[in-house]
């Protein structure tokens, strides 16, 4: 197996040739399956879990909304900044990042207000569109909702990829407490003719609990009807200002690492 690439070894295993490789192991040295490049870059982790590592792009650290714009008019984001957190402004609508991203690791924290009212989808509804698109459903929505003691359709509750992937668990904290999402987003790829080359995939931890395990998406996440794909490149990350009447939710500590 010396000098064989990982891809070739994988092909051997898939082709059922592993038994020959196993026989070969009797004559091999350990060094023959050890490699030294590429060398992973050094990344200094945050001092606590959830804190941005050294190579992260900080999207919101409580100081300003400089990385965000209103989706509606592309003007500086109009969400309310107070006490180092930003709160949804339902009057001015969704906001999105100025920067665009393909695949990435994202950390984001949100808080449902302690005095939240409403039920079903009208209780602390927001959402994180992992790629904001100017057509169809507007992108791929990771749902934000208060489901601590609130039932709704399972593929629309918190932790779902809206109407596509029900979460593996309900890991809600009570309203009033900060909650986190850690997301690994693998953007879909398209051929030059617009055809789909590879599906989008997503892994999500909600408050440290796995809720999406490399889930494949069949397209965007519409409220009505079936998902579909439309060719796109790097896209902003969008936060939803939902039109329900419940009290607006807040966000803090948002950072991303392009992959």
Q: Where are the alpha helices (DSSP H) in the chain?
A: 6-14, 18-25
Nearer to Mg ion, 20 or 245 (CB): 245
- Of the candidates 125, 147, 164, 253, which one interacts with Mg ion according to CB under 5 A? 125
CB atoms inside a 10 Å sphere around CB 156: 20
- In angstroms, the CA 48 to CA 109 distance is 14
CB of 131 to Mg ion, least distance (A): 15
CB of 227 to Mg ion, least distance (A): 15
DSSP readout, 13-68?
A: HHTTTHHHHHHHHTT--GGGG----SPPPP-PPPSSTTSPPTTPEEEE-SS--TTE
CB of 170 to Mg ion, least distance (A): 16
Stretch that binds Mg ion, among 59-67, 124-132, 181-189, 214-222 (CB under 5 A): 124-132
- Of the candidates 96, 123, 127, 254, which one interacts with Mg ion according to CB under 5 A? 127
Nearer to Mg ion, 97 or 143 (CB): 143
Peptide bond into 105 cis (omega under 30): no
Q: Residues 65, 81: contact at Cβ < 8 Å? A: yes
**CA dist 103 to 106, 168, 171, 258, Å?**
10, 22, 25, 6
Helix (H), strand (E) at residue 190: strand 189-190
Nearer to Mg ion, 127 or 159 (CB): 127
Three-class secondary structure of residue 70 per DSSP: strand
**Which residues have CB under 8 Å from 202's CB, separation 6+?**
130, 140, 142, 161, 165, 183, 184, 185, 186, 212, 214, 215, 217
CB of 176 to Mg ion, least distance (A): 20
Nearer to Mg ion, 32 or 244 (CB): 244
Per-residue string for binding with Mg ion, 203-242, x by CB under 5 A? Answer: -------------------------------------x--
Nearer to Mg ion, 107 or 242 (CB): 242
CB of 23 to Mg ion, least distance (A): 56
Per-residue string for binding with Mg ion, 67-86, x by CB under 5 A? Answer: --------------------
Count of H helices and E strands in the chain? Answer: 2, 15
Q: If binding means CB under 5 A, how many residues of this protein chain bind Mg ion?
A: 3
Would you count residue 164 as binding Mg ion (CB under 5 A)?
A: no
CB of 142 to Mg ion, least distance (A): 9
CB of 184 to Mg ion, least distance (A): 20
Give the interface with Mg ion as residue ranges (CB under 5 A): 125, 127, 240
């Amino acid at each position: 197996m010396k000098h064989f690439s990982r891809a070739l070894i994988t092909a051997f295993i898939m082709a059922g040739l592993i038994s020959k490789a196993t026989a070969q192991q009797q004559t091999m040295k350990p060094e023959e399956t050890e490699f030294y490049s590429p060398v992973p870059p050094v990344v200094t982790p945050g001092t606590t879990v959830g804190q941005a590592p050294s190579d992260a792009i900080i999207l919101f650290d409580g100081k300003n909304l400089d990385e965000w714009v209103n989706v509606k008019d592309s003007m500086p984001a109009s969400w309310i900044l107070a006490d180092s957190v930003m709160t949804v402004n339902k009057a001015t609508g969704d906001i999105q990042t100025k920067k665009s991203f393909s695949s990435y690791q994202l950390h984001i924290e949100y808080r449902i207000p302690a005095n939240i009212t409403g039920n079903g989808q009208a209780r602390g509804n927001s959402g994180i569109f992992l790629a904001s698109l100017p057509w169809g459903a507007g992108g791929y929505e990771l749902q934000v909702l208060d489901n601590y003691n609130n039932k709704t359709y399972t593929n629309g509750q918190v932790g779902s990829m809206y109407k596509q992937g029900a979460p593996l668990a309900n890991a809600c904290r009570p309203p009033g407490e900060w909650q986190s999402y850690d997301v690994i987003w693998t953007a879909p790829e398209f051929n030059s003719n617009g055809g789909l080359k590879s599906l989008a995939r997503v892994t999500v931890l909600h408050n440290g609990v796995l809720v999406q395990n490399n889930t494949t998406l069949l397209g965007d996440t519409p409220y009505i009807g079936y998902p579909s794909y439309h060719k796109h490149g790097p896209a902003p990350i969008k936060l939803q200002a939902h039109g329900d009447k419940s009290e607006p939710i807040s966000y803090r500590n948002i950072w991303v690492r392009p992959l």
